[in-house]
Every structure is written in C-alpha cells, then in structure tokens.
A and B are shown apart, each in its own frame.
Chain A
Amino acid sequence: MESVVFIFSLIDCCALIFLSVYFIITLSDLECDYINARSCCSKLNKWVVPEVIGHAVVTVLMLISLHWFIFLLNLPVATWNIYRYIMVPSGNMGVFDPTEIHNRGQLKSHMKEAMIKLGFHLLCFFMYLYRLVSKIV
C-alpha cells in the first residue's frame, strides 16, 4: 500500500518537475524576447490549475496516508499555490497577466518562484524515491 502511494507521488512529482521546467523555459523565452507576453501568459495560465491540483493531490495523499512530515513539508507550497490562484484580481487574465508581467519586476519574481518550486520538487522526488526504495527493499 505504502509503496503504491509513493509510486503515485513519484509520478506526480515528475509531472510537477516537468511543469516547473516548462515554466522556466517559457519565462526565459519571454525574457529573451523569443515569444511575446500574450502567448507566453496564455501558455502558462493553462497550466496553473493542473499544477495546483497536482500538488494538492500529493499533499492530501500524504495526509491520508499519515506521512506527517512530508505532508507538513508540502503544505506551505500547496497553500501558496492555492492562495496565488485565488488572489488573482477580477480584471486579470490569470496568474500570469500579459499587461503586467513586464512591470515591477514581475517576470523576475515569477522566474524565481518557478526556480524555487523546481528545487522543492526535486527534493521531494528524491525523498519519495528514498522512501519507496526503503519500503520495497
């Protein structure tokens, strides 16, 4: 049972890692002016909800399977994801808004955020892997 949980988490985590990398690549494309703000934002906004869901699922799974440490580790990031999604002003086109992304260093902060998430997911990935391996062995 436990190994199933971790196998699932591992897959989910992989997906989240890929997503973070995708975010970083797209944002740096925008930074270098390879794509324009409009298409960049519409690309990224599509993936905001999957990211929130994907991460929330792992978090809840950990809670259900009573892995307290991993749950607490995931909780702040999941909360931040949801908070960010909820707090989008009504006039904006999503978390990434093409009219504002170049203002007030938003691009940089989005980039930083994606980097941090990437690091976090990598950490989680190895943690799940370790737990899985230790369970199986």
Chain B
Amino acid sequence: MSAPAGLPPRPAASREAAPRFQNGPVQGQMHFPSGYGSHPPNYSVPSGHYSQVPNKAAASHLDNEYRASYYPTYYSAPAQNIMTPSVGTNVLSPQESQQFYKTSPHTVGSAEGPIQGAISSASYLHTSAQQSYSAFANHYSTSVGSSVASQGFPLNSDDYTMPVASSAMYPNVSYPPVAAGSVYGQAYTSQSLPAVGQFKETNTFSSQSTSVPHSLQQHVPMGYNSTSAISSAQSVQDNISRSPTGSVAKANNQINRGGIDSSQSVQSVKQTVPFTKPGAGTSASSAVNSSVRTSAPSLSSQPRSSPSVTQSPEPALQEAIDSSSTTSSASPVLNNYDALEGGGYPETRSVTSSPVPAPSAPQTSKASKPFGYGYPTLQPGYQNATPPTPVQPSNPGQHPGFQHYPQQYPGVNQLSSSLGGLSLQHSQQPESLRPVNLTQERNILPVSSVPAPVPNLNSDLRKLNCSPDSFRCTLTNIPQTQALLNKAKLPLGLLLHPFRDLTQLPVITSSTIVRCRSCRTYINPFVSFIDQRRWKCNLCYRVNDVPEEFMYNPLTRSYGEPHKRPEVQNSTVEFIASSDYMLRPPQPAVYLFVLDVSHNAVEAGYLTIVCQSLLENLDKLPGDSRTRIGFITFDSTVQFYNLQEGLSQPQMLIVSDIDDIFLPTPDSLLVNLHESKELIKDLLNALPNMFTNTRETHSALGPALQAAFKLMSPTGGRISVFQTQLPSLGAGLLHSREDPNQRSSTKVVQHLGPATDFYKKLALDCSGQQTAVDLFLLSSQYSDLASLACMSKYSAGCIYYYPSFHRSHNPAQAEKLQKDLKRYLTRKIGFEAVMRIRCTKGLSIHTFHGNFFVRSTDLLSLANVNPDAGFAVQMSIEESLTDTSLVCFQTALLYTSSKGERRIRVHTLCLPVVSSLADVYAGADVQAVVCLLANMAVDRSVSSSLSDARDALVNAVVDSLAAYMTTASNLQQSMLIAPNSLKLFPLYILALLKQKAFRTGMSTRLDDRVYAMCQMKSQPLVHLMKMIHPNLYRIDKLIDEGTIHVNDRVVPQPPLQKLSAEKLTREGAFLMDCGSIFYIWIGKNCDNNFIKDVLGYPNYASVPQKMTQLPEVDALSSERTRSFISWLRDSRPLSPVLQVIKDENPAKMDFFQHLIEDRTEAAFSYYEFLLNIQQQICK
C-alpha cells in the first residue's frame, strides 16, 4: 500500500512518511550506528517482549528487557561520533584550545550532590514505572487512559493489543465499556440506587455491549466537555428499558484530577484487580487490562461476558506476537459511544449527582428514538444537576420531548439557552434559530458553560462523530456553495486539538492500514461499503477494495464484517504504523536545554526553579532507554557541558567565538539520560550557584541557538530555550523597538512583526531537522517577543512568557513557572510529526493557523507535537457541494512516540450540507467562530494593522447579524436580533476587542500584546475561550443545590455570572477563572465567616495583599470552595495560579480589566457596543 521507506518522497503513498525529505534526506541514517540502522527489521521483536509485560508487570523487568534489546546494538556500535571532524580542527587550533577547555572552576556537587543523588537514585530504584505511573496519575489522572497516554508509562504499547484478544474471546460483546465501567463503577459512583447491570444495544452496528453497574461514562482527566445529566440520564433511561434487570445510572459532567482523584483511581484498581498493585510498578494500562479480566465475575450476571474474559492473557499474547506478521489486531476499543450518545465520548467521566434524576417515561421503540424520553422527567434532574460543562450537546434534535420545551418554559431564558441547539430538528423552528433580541435580553449567558452545537446528522452518524473537543467546525451545517457562505458572512473553518490527552483511544495494530488509493484517506466510520469487498471513499468517492485482512474482525473474531472493525466504528483511532511510514528509524527522545545565565537571568533567579523542576521530573521525562539530554548555557559566550559517562564531574567547555560557533566535543554533549544520570544531577544541583557572581550582562542567544541546532540536527528533538532579555550579541541580535509612550496609543501599534528573519530561518532549519524550539521568556523589560517567537512559531514549538519574572519579588509568576514546567516536562510528546488535513472534494484549505511549518498545500510539518497545541484552518468552498449531503474532514497526525514507535492518530468529522441560509445560521458554533476570527485578526494585525483587525472583528458581527436579519423578514428592523446560536457573538467579539491582544487605549506592553496573539494562534479552543471570556462565579454562598459528586467530594456548581461590576457586591466574594489564572475578589463587607473559614483570617483588614493559596480549614464553606477550585483546576493541563484580590489592592486592575461588559475609558460597554452594532446595521 504505501511506498517503501527508501523511495523518494514524491509518491503519494509515502508523503506522510516523509518527515525529512526536504532537507537532504536522512543524514541521520548515515550517522547512525549500524545497530541503529538495522533496527527496523527487528522492529517487531520488542513487541514480543512487551506483550508479555502485563503478566509480569514489574517495570524494572521491562527496563531490562528493553535494554537487552537496544543496548548491544545501539551503544556498543562506534556510533557516538555523530558529529563530524570539521569541529575537531577548529577546536584544536592551538591559540584557542586552552580557552575552550577550561573546566568548570566550581567544584560540582561536592557536598550536596551526593545527597541529592542518593535521594533521587533511591527514588529511582522504585523503578521507573512507578514514577511514571504517578506522573501519569497526575497528568492523565486516570487509569483508563492507558492506551492513549502510552508515553506516560513505560510499557510498550504493543501490550495494548492484549485486550483485543480478550475481547475476541467473547463474541458479540464489546468489552471495553465493561472495563471502563467496572473500574469506575466501583470507584466513582456513590450509589444512591442499587444498580445491577445494563444491557444495551448500539443501534446500527448493533454490537452488543455489556456495561456495568452505574454509569458507563469514562473517567476523564480533562473533561472540558463531559456528559451532562441529560445524556447520561438518557442512557439510563435506555438501559432501563433495555436491560433485563434494570439499572439506574446517573452521571454528570465531572472533571477532576490531581491528588485525590488519582489516588482514588489507584484504589479502584486495587479493588478490582487484586494482583495489580499500583505501587508495584505496573503500568496503568496493564492495570486496566487486568481489570477487564478480573471484573468479569462482577458481570457474571450477564451471560455472555463472563466465561472467556478471564482466559484472555494467553491468547492475547499469542495474538500480539502474531500481529506483527500477518493478522491484524485491534487494541482496546474502549468504545463507550453507546454510553455517551456520541459527542464528547472521550472526555466524560462517571460521577453521580446528588439528586437522583429519576427518569420514568417508559421507552418504547428503541430504534427510532434511542435515547428519547419525556422532557418533564428530565427537568428536575437537569435543574438539580446543573451541569457546569455543557449540557451535553450531543443529543439534541432527536428527542421529541424537547420539542415541547420552548412552549412549556418560554420565559426561562437561562434554561433555554443552555439547551440551545438541542432541538435542531424541531419541525417549525430550531431552538438555535430562535430570534433573540439582544438589546432587551439581559442574561444571555448560560448557567454553565456554552455547549458545542451538534451537527444535524442522524443518530448513527452522530454517535460515530468525532468529539467536539478534538475537532470543531465553525459551521456545523456546511453551506452548499461559496456564494451561500459569503451570504452568511461567517467564516468557515476547523479548530483542531489533535494531540489532546485522551483516555479512550482505540489503538490498532495492523500490517496494512486501509486507505483510499487515490486520496490516501484513512478508512473511517463515514465511508460506505458498497458490498462486502468494496468501500467508497467519503472524501474523493473512489471505490476501493477491502483487503483480505480487513475482512477479519479481531474484536468479534468473525470474518466478513469489515464494517465492524474498530477503524470503522470510531472516528478517533490510532494506528501503529509500519516501516512504510518511516524515512529513518524512529528517533529517540532528545531534550536540550539552553539556559540564559547572564546577570539579568541570575538576578531573576529562574535557574533554581528550572533546575529544581528538572531534578524532580528527570525520571518522568517521556522517553525510553535511548533518551538523551544535554545542556547549553550562554551569556556573552556559550558554555557546553560534557556529561559523558565515566567523568567524575560535569565538565564545562566555553566557546567564546560566537561569530563562528562550533561544538567542542560533539559526541559527549548530548548524553544518555540513564547512563549519565548522576552527572546530570550534579550539574543541575550546581548550575544555580555557578553563575551567582557573574557580571556579564550581554546575551548571545543567536549563537547559542545555532550551536543548539548543530547539536540537535543529527537526531532531532526538543530545544527548550530560557531567555531573560533582549539578545544583544552575535547573530540574531535585536534592538529595543518599543516606545513606552505609545503603549496606550489608540492609533497605530507598530512592531507586531519580527524585526529580523534570523529566527524564522533558524526555525525552518530546525523544523527540517525535526527539532522544535520552545521558548520560555522570563523578562522584566521589553525583549522583542515578536521576533523571538518566530523560533517557536515555525518549528512547532510552544511559547511561555512570564512578564516581570522574579523569584522572590513576584512569587505568583515563580509559582506559575514551576507548575508550567512540571506539565511541560512530563506531558506527552510526539517527535518528527506531520499532520495532514483532508476534506471532501470541493472544499479546500485556505489558511492555516498555529505553530508549524506548512510544507505543502495540506501538509503541516510539526517537529514536535504536544497535547496542549491547538490548530485552526480556514476553509473555502471551491466547488459546489450540491451532489453530496455530507462532507467529511480528516486529520491524520503521524508522529514518533517517545517510546520510539511510529503512530498515526486519525480524527474524522462528518457534517451535513445545507442549502438555506437559515440552516447555516442554525448550525453556527459561536465559540469556534470567535476563535477562528481571533486567529484571523492576529494575522490581520501583523500583516496590516491593529485597527484594521479591530474593524474586521466588528464588521464580522455587523455583517453576519445584518445578513441574518435580512433572511428573517418578519423581524422588525429596529431591533437587534440574533439567532439563538449566535446570541453570544457580540459579547465574545467585545471581549476580544478588550483582550490584551487587540485592545487600544489602555496601556499594554508590546510583549504582552504579542504574547496574547501567540496564544490565540496556538491555544486549543477550550483554553482560548477562557482567555477571551473568563468565567465569573460567586463563591461566598455556595449552596448544596446542583452540587455534583466527584469521587467522594461534593463540588458545588455556582451559576456563571455576567462579567460586569454590577454583579459584584461588597458583601460577596467572587472567583474569576481566566484559564491560566484564578482571581478571588473579596468585597469590603464580605461576610466575616467566609473570610475566617475560607481564607483563614479573622477579618477583611487582615487579609494580606499577596495571597496565592487557600488554607485548609475544617469548615464546610472552606471545603466547598476548595473542592470547587480544584475541580476547575483539574479541567485543564496547566494548573492555574490563584490570586486573592482585595478591593483596595493595586492588583485589582488586573481583575477589573476582565469585566468586559463594563465601560472603560477607551471602550464601549456591552450595551453601547450593541447599540453601535445596531446603528451600523441600519446604516
């Protein structure tokens, strides 16, 4: 199917397999030791080892095996001379050599080194598995996540194939829900009703899925978008009607993560799996797998599941080994669609809500309305549960019950708004088209967060569709023609979060990956099978043959049912790619840290934090036994560190020739993490104190980066740059371009673009060598982020910025750096990645947004990909789509995991095509529209000007609302009317205009502005929305009503408040969730009990100015507040910093600037903005 790796990149087959082709192919291969080179043939060998691991779980064991298979080949070979001799001559030029080989004057690690080393080595002895397990628990926070979070723990993913076989043992039972459910059924449900088992049937593909007591929902770490009470209640309903025994499950959208949670999940594993001791170094995945097995008894009430489940290990093993040769096998398809009714399947977790929604309406015909039940029964549950995250958008239209809704509760705006989009298929007028008079409606914010609208597809397709968290389109109803799109005045585009941490992901190992022969689309749930042996591509409509191998379904162990294969049952799947998808052997994980050690940097004191975080997380860095690490520091010279194994202490090599930088000892600067661990620890302990007395104020960032590039180019990997000032020496030096007097100018903002192309060129060079540059900018002065950011933008890196960073003067920033680093160092990472976005014929991609290099029309080259990166693309309709009713989008992300596996993650989204303007508006996804507009506005402000971008944003609202009002002819032209789907549009646009990136009139530092723009381009939608429009809650009177239970904690669910000072009362306390920071604002007359219980101070006056943590006080209100905050925290990867703000605190401006509905000196209030829009429409 695909061309072999060696072929030139041109053939379509290997296009995606060609990460390096642009830069003189495969230097890497030449330099690699013979052992390395011969690796691919043996590629399947490790899988043999690994598939056994779940049985013998100890990870140290694993480690050994790993070593056994890698070491002899890789390290014994004379491989290390990767860099070439030119350097040598340079180095040894007599007059300079002395200077170069100055060893570090500081004795490294004499006193504290050993101690530290002892400690950490002791912890290391605990086996890396445990370490990474805990990392995993923290970051993915759930054990079910196994198959996705493969990098978080040491098992090779081949063991994922196990469950496949186990499932294959019991035909017709799709086991995965069992696994998930059983674990969480015990762990998370607080049973208020005894539940036995559920038994239900998915509709079309009707694989019977057994499920478990209580809810099936998976437990998810970062469920921004989780099941609502409704959807789960529906599944309950469904279950009741279907299951012989009957059960009531309740689920809520719950998000939790972190200590309590993870310990919970660990416990649950303990309970279910007696032989799996979390501490003993089993990986999470094996824990899950084994829980599949052991949970069988608990399911024994269900005839089909029990007997064979326990037998699974051996066959599984067999299968895993076989799989490399001919058979294909799929790994745990933890397919809980049936539980979740489509939509946000991966990000839900099972939690119970305190008031039990008691669905009662009997279910009649399942086929026609699988989840339907009467609205009245829903209502109490809904109100009680008041889900904080979307009322699951997934299940709208098809519930007849909802149709009565507008009539029954016409006045309840909040309710109706949160149910907005729920009745797309309403016969008369969909809820999302309900006209909303913006100037009169005071409360347009929903009670909880805004749900993603659900495409108006039939229920089968909807169930299969991709989660809106990974893949969202601005228009869920695609207009038929470009003309119609132009008429609607809304942008068409996709928002992608492809490498998100998922907990449920089918991983497929198969010798042939089935793809369309002409457009190379991966087979997906939306293709049509013409007959058993042929399928029709849904993107280019070519008819393809089904390969023989694909006829066999490893899940059901049946032959001749290609449509039941996991690839065709899941819109998000991951393939383990064969060597066809490689141009060179998968690279090891390589990390290089480039640290600024000039006077400015030492003064700020960031080195201590960085070194400390690195020391703590050294064992959790994703990677395998080949992982390599290196350090470069720079001031006016560049210092390298020789960490070669065998040295007694790290050796510093100083290169002062910054105009012609070279590597002093190319082969010992990047060293194996495991072999040289002691030296690395010594270095990290010594580094913070090595430069304390430096007087060097210059910064030679450019030469340091050039050196880093040279060091990395043979392998590729990740460069992390820490910079604290404007680079002032050597190549890439920059000059201050900011005029402080222009900070609050309303006219022009200049210098938003880069000053030099040095960093861009460097980034492209790096990208060509599969190296990403991540930038941490910690500066107190202007550092020209606009220029520096280029190094990350085009090499697919990420950018962190800490304005006025100082370790002791600015503890909030220091804490933030610490938390960010923890996440940064331990999160999953994909190397040498490419992403291709394909879409149905007729659509084409117009513009890409995000951090990457666009290598060809639809191929993005991502040297590294991380789970926090979001992308956006703008689409245009080139040919009319009249002859099709569905369009599909597919993103395929091909990457090398930190374990050295080539994997392809494929997401497919399917959307209906509509021909009327009203339908286009009905399907508008306001959040996606706003995020795409933000991306476009950033481009516009760089290429044109900020005021142009602002005008364009305002025009976007004016034009689209005007266009809508002309379609709805019966509306009075004097009012400002928006369809319900777009009612938040003006509010969000106003928020954007007041955002740091686009605001004028207020003093905004250029770097802050540029950073905000960078974030808009690279953040996924969920994060970006919080940045644009923060959530405000009142927290001084948290009540029981609507609380939800996460594990054993009660999490109150206060309603969202308008971002307006009118909502702030002096008697209250408010929490604002801005994504990366939480503000708690305390009114002057705030209840003393609240201050005492929650803040731990006797009265308002004694609350300190800088408070960043809530004490643990044994009081109900304290407990509630803390559980609410930690629940919010758990919903995002970066742990936000908390800041308590008193009314007279100078920091209160930070808080008040987010109250975007209020008027400021330079900007409209929301109402004024509406009037302004209305005026412009009437013009």
User: B-contacting residues of A (Cβ < 8 Å)?
Assistant: 30-31, 33-34, 36-39, 89-93, 98-99, 101-105, 107
Contacts and interface: CB of A to CB of B under 8 A. Distances in A.
Contacts of B859: 33
B737 to A, nearest CB: 10
B856 A30 contact: yes
Interface in B851-908: 853-857, 859
B756 A91 contact: yes
A102 to B, nearest CB: 4
A137 to B, nearest CB: 51
A104 B847 CA distance: 5
A90 B285 CA distance: 51
B754 A90 contact: yes
Nearest to B942: A89
Contacts of A38: 22, 764, 768
Which residue among A37, A92, A105 has the maximum number of chain B CB atoms within 10 Å of its CB? A37
Contacts of A39: 22
B10 interface: yes
Given A102-B857, A104-B846, A36 B757 contact: no
B1121 to A, nearest CB: 46
B755 interface: yes
Contacts of B760: 91-93, 99
B753 interface: yes
27 contacts: A31-B857, A33-B856, A33-B859, A36-B855, A37-B854, A37-B856, A38-B764, A89-B753, A90-B754, A90-B756, A91-B755, A91-B756, A91-B760, A91-B787, A91-B790, A93-B757, A93-B761, A98-B764, A98-B853, A99-B764, A99-B794, A99-B853, A99-B854, A102-B857, A103-B846, A104-B939, A107-B857
Contacts of A107: 857
B846 A105 contact: yes
B593 interface: no
Main DSSP-derived SS at the A contact region: loop
Contacts of B846: 103-105
Contacts of A103: 846-848, 854, 939
B101 interface: no
Contact of A36 (B21, B753, B756): B21
Interface in B727-779: 753-757, 760-761, 764, 768
B15 interface: yes
Contacts of A36: 21-22, 855-856
A89 B939 CA distance: 13
Nearest to B876: A105
B832 to A, nearest CB: 15
B757 A91 contact: yes
Contacts of A102: 848, 854, 856-857
A38 B768 CA distance: 9
B855 to A, nearest CB: 5
Nearest to A94: B757
Nearest to A33: B856
Main DSSP-derived SS at the B contact region: mixed
Contacts of A34: 10
Contacts of B793: 99
Nearest to A31: B857
Which residue among A89, A91, A92 has the maximum number of chain B CB atoms within 10 Å of its CB? A91
Contacts of B787: 91
Nearest to B23: A38
B753 A33 contact: no
Which residue among B15, B760, B793, B794 has the maximum number of chain A CB atoms within 10 Å of its CB? B760
Contacts, number: 64
Contacts of B854: 37, 99, 101-103
A98 B761 CA distance: 10
Nearest to B12: A33
Given A34-B10, A92-B760, A105-B846, 13 more contacts: A31-B857, A38-B764, A89-B943, A90-B753, A90-B757, A91-B754, A91-B755, A91-B757, A99-B794, A101-B854, A103-B848, A103-B854, A104-B847
Which residue among A39, A92, A99, A103 has the maximum number of chain B CB atoms within 10 Å of its CB? A99
Contact of A90 (B755, B764, B848): B755
Nearest to B759: A91
Contacts of B857: 31, 33, 102, 107
A102 B846 CA distance: 8
A92 B768 CA distance: 18
Interface string B939-958: 10001000000000000000
Contacts of A92: 757, 760
Given A98-B853, A99-B764, A103-B854, A91 B22 contact: no
Interface string B897-936: 0000000000000000000000000000000000000000
Nearest to A34: B10
A77 B853 CA distance: 32
A31 B844 CA distance: 13
A13 to B, nearest CB: 33
A89 B764 CA distance: 18
Contacts of B856: 30, 33, 36-37, 102
B945 to A, nearest CB: 12
Top 7 nearest A-B pairs (CB, nearest first) are: A91-B754, A36-B22, A102-B854, A33-B856, A103-B847, A93-B757, A91-B753
A104 B849 CA distance: 11
A130 B853 CA distance: 48
A92 B22 CA distance: 20
Interface in B820-859: 846-848, 853-857, 859
A106 to B, nearest CB: 9
A109 B952 CA distance: 22
B8 to A, nearest CB: 11
A30 B858 CA distance: 12
Nearest to B10: A34
B1009 to A, nearest CB: 16
A53 to B, nearest CB: 22
Contacts of A89: 753-754, 943
A36 B939 CA distance: 23
Contacts of B768: 38
A130 B1006 CA distance: 58
Contacts of B939: 103-104
A64 B754 CA distance: 41
Contacts of A33: 15, 856-857, 859
Contacts of B794: 99
Contacts of B753: 89-91
A33 B943 CA distance: 26
A107 B21 CA distance: 21
B428 to A, nearest CB: 41
A36 B10 CA distance: 11
A101 B848 CA distance: 11
B607 to A, nearest CB: 30
A93 B753 CA distance: 13
A101 B943 CA distance: 14
B470 to A, nearest CB: 23
Nearest to A99: B794
A91 B794 CA distance: 12
Nearest to A41: B764
Contacts of B15: 33
A110 to B, nearest CB: 14
Contacts of A104: 846-847, 939
Which residue among B787, B790, B794, B854 has the maximum number of chain A CB atoms within 10 Å of its CB? B854
A51 to B, nearest CB: 20
Interface string B1-36: 000000000100001000001100000000000000
A101 B21 CA distance: 19
Nearest to B853: A99
Contacts of A30: 856
A104 B10 CA distance: 25
A30 B15 CA distance: 14
B845 to A, nearest CB: 8
A47 to B, nearest CB: 18
Which residue among A93, A101, A107 has the maximum number of chain B CB atoms within 10 Å of its CB? A93
A99 B790 CA distance: 11
